[in-house]
Chains A and B, each alone.
Chain A
Amino acid sequence: MATDTLITTEQDVQQDFAAHGESRGHRTMVLNMGPQHPSTHGVLRLLLELDGETIVKAAPDIGYLHTGIEKEFEVKTYQQGVTLTDRIDYLAPLSNNLVYCLAAEKLLGLEIPELAQWTRVMLAEFTRLNSHLVWLATHAIDIGAMSVFLYCFREREEILRIFEMFSGQRMMTSYIRIGGLALPHPRGWQKRVKDFVDIFPSRIDEYEELLTGNRIWTGRTKGVGYISLEDMVELGVTGPMLRAAGMAIDVRKDAPYSSYEKFDFTVPTRTENDVFSRYLLRLEEMRQSHRIIKQALEGMPSGSHQADAPGIVLPEREKMKTQMEALIYHFKIVTEGFRVPEGEVYQAVESPRGEVGCYMVSDGTQKPYRVHWRGPSFGNLQSTSKLIEGTLIADVIAALGSMDFVLGDTDR
């Protein structure tokens, strides 16, 4: 049964151990790897069958962070649902806000003003930087390079401050809302972003200096974690993993959303398809994100931060106090939400980890009938068995880290 599947299961491990343990001279053992505690970094359980230090079989076991978010969408109004999206992938809150809002806006047929679209792009790229920095920090620490963590978190702190400036929140931003943005731009944001944009390229050079030529780092990452491109496509892997194997797949280019087509950037690819190339690729992605942020800062259009859609977008505070109609709309939106036309859409966005998709089904009421979240980490994790079987146990952490999964996104 296990021959036609690329995913090993717990049962396979136990059967293989029972059947071949003896013929291998009792050298094999079954090892349970993690999790120790629900709040550890990466609540993933791996069941490994080891022959010495070589992994014979590896079965991933997920579900420890399942919180029923898809069910919860069904009892919240559309606008309330935005807050849930932050909590799915807690390292990419704005990418998730964006995909959810784009799906709802597609159903509503809303036209989003340019300023809001550009701000969305800018913040989505900040999210990518934020996520890649956390990835680099923890990936390096997992492999043993302690100090990189401190450097990465220094820049991440600045990004979180920018998020806080825009939305009032560092992590669970909910800044992108159906119909535009939650708030207008904060005063002095240009300076904050400009300061960051000016310094960031030199900071990427700093990480490179610490790692790229480092012999221990290259020794631990080069030639480790190979998986064929065909297997990855077959198993639903997306994002940097595919790009590090030479496939230039990126939703931002393939199906541009939120005016990404107006930005000048390239989709970096590499061909080595190992942990080291995924590291270099993500660094290059950070440089590209920096380019996009710079363009957004310099070319930020003027206009409203929300669509002209009374009945969906909350009226301005001032109008609410002086106009009867605005007050009625405010009351109606807050108490019962807005109705969304019947239909179903699938919207995809390039999150830092790959393709995040939101399949939204509306039955014409104020609450979604069904929201399915196609998290990139779920698809990426499916490749675990294929990725690490046959390799050494010391390489497991490097190989898994290069996948950059977030278990909240996997389990939802």
Chain B
Amino acid sequence: MISETLQQDPIVASLAGLAVAAKFEFGELTVEIDPAQIVEALRRVKHDLQFERLTSVTGVDRYPAEPRYEVVYHLQAIAAKKRLRLKARVSGAKPEIDSVTGIYRGAEWYERETFDLFGITFLSHPNLIRIMMPEDWEGHPLRKDYPITGTRY
């Protein structure tokens, strides 16, 4: 759902066809993108809207809601001093989304971190292995159904 006033917004307008929802809260713009279109959305954001810097990529686990995960991209336009948040929801049964390393090469470690801690697979990522946890670790700690206490040595 995109309200009519937000549809006038130049950023939302240039993402037309890819955006499924948008909101402007606390002075920050969030646009939700169809997960199948995320690479195209980021390409437009970088090349058409001059958001040259990808600040971070992370996840939010909305367990037990479905689609369970949100992949969150924070972007910055340095000259225009603007910030933007893009979001894509992926299902809990098959948490997969295309990697954006082809657009922003700096996404590599951020996507690895999100893969490590949430278990979201970034398709066609050049090197999708754990970054924080040991290689043989089981489970993904930032998932909501991952235990907070207990010993796992």
Contact = CB atoms under 8 A, between A and B. Distances in A.
B102 interface: yes
B78 interface: yes
Contact of A5 (B53, B54, B101): B101
A236 B126 contact: no
A186 interface: no
B92 interface: no
Contact of A359 (B54, B58, B106, B130): B58
A41 interface: no
A66 B109 contact: no
Contacts of A233: 52-53, 78
22 contacts: A5-B105, A6-B105, A7-B127, A63-B134, A66-B133, A71-B148, A343-B25, A344-B26, A344-B30, A345-B26, A345-B28, A346-B74, A357-B55, A357-B74, A359-B58, A359-B72, A370-B60, A370-B61, A374-B55, A374-B56, A379-B56, A411-B132
Nearest to A59: B127
A63 B133 contact: yes
B141 interface: yes
A361 interface: yes
Interface in B27-81: 27-28, 30, 52-56, 58, 60-61, 72, 74, 78, 81
Contacts of A285: none
A11 B61 CA distance: 31
B6 interface: no
A378 B109 contact: yes
Nearest to B52: A233
Contacts of B129: 9
B126 A1 contact: yes
Interface in A347-390: 348, 355, 357, 359, 361, 369-370, 372, 374, 378-379, 382
Contacts of B109: 7, 378, 382
B131 A63 contact: yes
Contact of B55 (A70, A247, A249, A355): A355
Contacts of A63: 130-134
Interface residues of A, number: 44
Interface of B: 25-28, 30, 52-56, 58, 60-61, 72, 74, 78, 81, 83, 85, 101-102, 104-106, 108-110, 117, 126-127, 129-134, 141-142, 146, 148
Contacts of B133: 63, 66
Interface in A232-266: 233-236, 247, 249, 254-255
Contact of A235 (B74, B83, B105, B134): B105
Given A357-B56, A412-B132, 9 more contacts: A5-B126, A7-B105, A63-B130, A66-B133, A235-B106, A236-B110, A359-B74, A378-B109, A379-B56
B58 to A, nearest CB: 4
A231 B109 CA distance: 15
A378 B109 CA distance: 8
Nearest to A411: B132
B10 to A, nearest CB: 19
A106 interface: yes
A292 B77 CA distance: 27
Nearest to B83: A346
A7 B128 CA distance: 12
B106 A249 contact: no
Decide if the interface of chain B is mainly helix, strand, loop or mixed: loop
A374 to B, nearest CB: 4
Contacts of B142: 70-71, 370
Contacts of A75: 148
B6 to A, nearest CB: 16
**Closest CB pairs A-B (n = 8):** A236-B106, A66-B132, A235-B106, A372-B58, A374-B56, A63-B132, A9-B127, A254-B81
Contacts of B117: 70
Contacts of B30: 344
Contacts of B126: 1-2, 4-5
B89 to A, nearest CB: 14
Nearest to A231: B105
Nearest to A369: B60
Which of B78, B106, B146 has the most chain A CB atoms inside 10 A of its CB?
B106
Given A343-B26, A359-B74, A62 B131 contact: yes
A252 to B, nearest CB: 12
Contacts of A247: 78
Contacts of A348: 55, 83
B59 to A, nearest CB: 8
A379 B60 contact: no
Nearest to A361: B60
A316 B22 CA distance: 42
A382 B132 contact: no
Given A68-B141, A357-B74, A5 B108 contact: yes
Contacts of B54: 236
Nearest to A68: B141
Nearest to A8: B127
